[in-house]
Amino acid sequence: MKTLLVTGGAGFIGSALVRHLLSRTDRAVVNLDKLTYAGNLESLPGAEGHSRYRFERVDICDRPEVERVFREHRPDAVIHLAAESHVDRSIDGPAEFVRTNLVGTSVLLEVARGYWNELEGEAREGFRFHHVSTDEVYGDLGTGGGLFTEETPYRPSSPYSASKAGSDHL
């Protein structure tokens, strides 16, 4: 059975993803979440006690703990959603955004790289790290409408989008 490590699985989007994975797929799910003000395990009814679900209350900035989670659960892929995500809060206090979105993402990437380096064969070939970004990294479309594409230049306009742009580049 494939195991997915979902970070931020108690958040708004992450909890919908975990609910989907448990109800519509046969994947095992490890939900790694610090449970900040934005995380709520009540968004995951039925997850606790589910045979394919494990919860780890861990801060993505805590490298030894992130390493332990990789060692114990041996994920086949990571879907990284954990972030400080509220634009207005980032303007009032950017430090936590820099810490979680940049430092935390770099910790997760480094631990995943070390783990991946020791995988072999199909496990190594198949391993994926899926980083969840935001359209905010492209700035505003303005009044003219239109679309952003993956070729649109980055133009972050808040500490939130700057930290997400930085994590994308990492």
Ligand X SMILES: NC(=O)c1ccc[n+]([C@@H]2O[C@H](COP(=O)([O-])OP(=O)(O)OC[C@H]3O[C@@H](n4cnc5c(N)ncnc54)[C@H](O)[C@@H]3O)[C@@H](O)[C@H]2O)c1
* Contact residues: ligand X, CB under 6 A: 7-8, 10-14, 33-36, 38-39, 59-61, 81-85, 100, 104, 132, 134, 164
Nearer to ligand X, 124 or 128 (CB): 128
Nearer to ligand X, 52 or 131 (CB): 131
**Known catalytic membership, residue 135:** yes
**Shortest Å, Cβ 128 to ligand X:** 17
* Residues 6+ positions from 77 with CB-CB distance below 8 Å: 2, 4, 5, 126, 127, 128, 129, 130
**Known catalytic membership, residue 136:** yes
* Residues 6+ positions from 128 with CB-CB distance below 8 Å: 76, 77, 78
- Among residues 33, 59, 76, 136, which one is catalytic? 136
**Shortest Å, Cβ 125 to ligand X:** 27
Nearer to ligand X, 54 or 164 (CB): 164
**Shortest Å, Cβ 131 to ligand X:** 8
Give just the sign of the alpha carbon dihedral 126, 127, 132, 138. Answer: negative
**Shortest Å, Cβ 53 to ligand X:** 15
CA distance 54 to 48: 8
Nearer to ligand X, 52 or 99 (CB): 99
- Active-site positions? 135-136, 160
